[in-house]
Amino acid sequence: MRGLARILFVSLTILSALLMHSRPAAAQNASISRGIEFLRSRGPSVTPGESALAALAMLKAGVPANDPALVQTIQNALSASTTEGYRPARSGGADIYETGIACMMLVNLDPVVYRPLIQSAASYLMSKQKSNGAWDYDGRAGDTGDCSISQYAILGLWEAENAGIRIPPSVWERAARWYMSVQRGGGWNYHPDAPSQPTVSMTAAGTGSLLICKMQLAPYRKRRERTVSPLLTPLVPETDQADYRVGLSDAQLDQAIGQGIAWLARNYRPGQTNLFGLSTYYGLYGCERVGGLGNLTQFGSVDWFQIGAQYITSNQGGDGSWNAMFESVPNTSWAILFLTRATEKTLERIQVERLGSGTLLGGRGLPENLENLTVAQGRVVVRPMNGAIEEMLSILEDPRADEGESALAGLIDRYFTSGPLALKPYQDRFRVLLVEGSPSQRLTAAWALARTGDLSVAPDLIRAVEDPNNEVAATADYGLRLISRTIDGNGLPSGVDADQKRAAAAEWRRWYDSVRPADQVGRVNASGRN
């Protein structure tokens, strides 16, 4: 009986723990859903900057890009822009907020389709950086910089650079030096020349901005530190950046970042305006960035996410919104960005894109032909082949060709510079490779078909989910998540078996049956399976 009682006690303890864990998650999901409905109703009718923020929150929460309310919200956010480039609707300092958020929105919407607007927005932000490295309101007395505005300029430029836009390293170093120069007792306030006390909001802004600057400067530091073989050719954006020397050391940056995190740990009490700043939700989103960028589950001994999520879910209004200083749409957006862990999603996307740029799936081992090696962003990759895609594809189709790695790198490079239109004309040839090719050829074909962004290739990828090669199956599954815009799913496990593949393919068939156009009915079952 004692043994049975002990088992029962342990079981109840485990069950209780599971229930306690699921309740907060369920409450958070319910809060997110209600908040999204509020943004759907209000997002299209506010200022363009607020619309951009609302659209970003909706995208991070998984709202499909073709959602009518989201489309209207994005259109309003870009109402001042033209086909020639991005233009903010406001000026005087609000334009920097608006442009930084627009950069984030566009990158998370589609970095290939919106590349010209992202480039234009990033150029605008760089033109507004002051000589001391900060951004500020136009004509403000003192003119030393604004911690809040500066963080949104940095956020926009960070998203832009990770989407392929060239940002000179001096932009990051000047911004980092400014933030370090105005840190006070570990914290930051809004305007360094004002007598106000540091707040959680601004300390999160300073700490998060330094974490981004350190991350973006790392490749230039590594290039200097690395002893490069003469067989490797450095691949750098421009000549002036190739020789850039980072003056700030990691130790200097780490010291300032560490002091910021320690300050947050001492003062992390949501709802206390004197500590947090004008809007607790604004501050919480800043803290989410610090947690995500720093890979921190705690600030010291403080569980920042649990405490913040509890505050947010407990203070939601009856209409699904959150409100404080700066009105309900921005506050609701910040609350959702916190609950969805928006920064972690950005970091996951960046990692996926980097794995897919220089090599197909991270490069398992080096190619045999060392003459084709190059260095990019601190990683050894294959030098992309130049020329027509037709030539690259012919090499990839020939199992005897010894330039396959270079052709593949060229194909990937062309996609990242020209987008899906570069691959779409060759869909039928990729389809043949996906069925008849070797495992490496099928892997390439699955990758390429997914990047066409064309729904018509979904049946081919669904069949490839059952490929006997696990890497091909995983690549096809990930490709379907790209096409269906459900990239946040877990995907196939590394040790997937045949039954799991069949189950995954069946799920994808059900999805495709619900979205396929009438003229594609029956294609997914062409293999004879239901």
List residues bridging with 99 in a β-sheet.
Answer: none
Residue labelled with tokens 């832009």: 160
Q: What sign for the dihedral angle of Cα 384, 465, 112, 118?
A: negative
Cα 253 to Cα 207: distance, rounded to the nearest angstrom = 10
Residues 102 and 121 in one domain: yes
Q: pLDDT (tens digit, 0 to 9) for every residue of the chain, 530 residues total?
A: 444 444 444 444 444 444 444 445 777 889 999 999 999 999 999 999 999 999 999 999 999 989 999 999 999 999 999 877 999 999 998 999 999 999 999 999 988 889 899 999 999 999 999 999 999 998 776 668 999 999 999 999 999 998 889 899 999 999 999 999 999 999 999 888 888 899 999 999 999 999 999 999 988 876 554 433 333 333 334 444 556 888 999 999 999 999 999 999 999 999 888 899 889 999 999 999 999 999 899 999 999 999 999 999 999 999 999 988 889 999 999 999 999 999 988 887 675 554 443 333 333 333 444 445 444 444 444 555 666 778 888 877 776 665 666 777 777 777 766 778 888 888 999 999 899 888 878 888 888 898 888 899 999 999 999 998 888 888 898 889 888 877 555 567 767 788 889 999 999 999 998 887 654 444 444 433 33
Residue 20 C-beta-side C-alpha neighbours within 13 Å: 7
The answer to whether 330 and 53 are in contact (CB under 8 A) is yes
Q: Which helix (H) or strand (E) is 165 found in, with range?
A: none
CA angle 448–449–450, rounded 5-degree value = 90
Pair 181, 87 in one domain: yes
Domain boundary among 391, 418, 445: 418
**How far apart are the C-alpha atoms of 2 and 8, rounded to whole Å?**
10
Is 528 inside any structural domain? yes
As a whole number of angstroms, the distance between CA 230 and CA 330 comes to 52
Residue 11, domain member (yes or no): no
Q: Are residues 437 and 380 in the same domain?
A: no
Residues 388 and 466 in one domain: no
In a domain, 371, yes or no: yes
Domain boundary among 384, 402, 418: 418
Q: Note whether 153 and 115 are same-domain residues.
A: yes
Q: Indicate if 198 and 73 belong to the same structural domain.
A: yes
Number of domains in the chain: 3
Full domain range(s) for residue 378: 358-418
SS3 content of the chain, % helix, strand, coil (to 5): 65, 5, 35
Encode 310-327: b = buried (16+ Cβ within 10 Å), e = exposed. ebbbebbeeebbbbbeee
Name the domain boundary from 418, 440, 470.
Answer: 418
| 131 in a structural domain | yes
Asked whether residue 65 falls in the same domain as residue 105, the answer is yes
Q: Is 451 found in the same domain as 406?
A: no
Please check whether residues 489 and 513 belong to one and the same domain. yes
Note whether 340 and 366 are same-domain residues. Answer: no
Question: In sequence order, what are the beta bridge partners of 375?
Answer: 234, 380
Instruction: Give a yes or no: residue 20 inside a domain.
Output: no
Q: Is residue 32 part of a domain?
A: no
- Report the sign of the C-alpha dihedral through residues 152, 154, 157, 163, in that order: negative
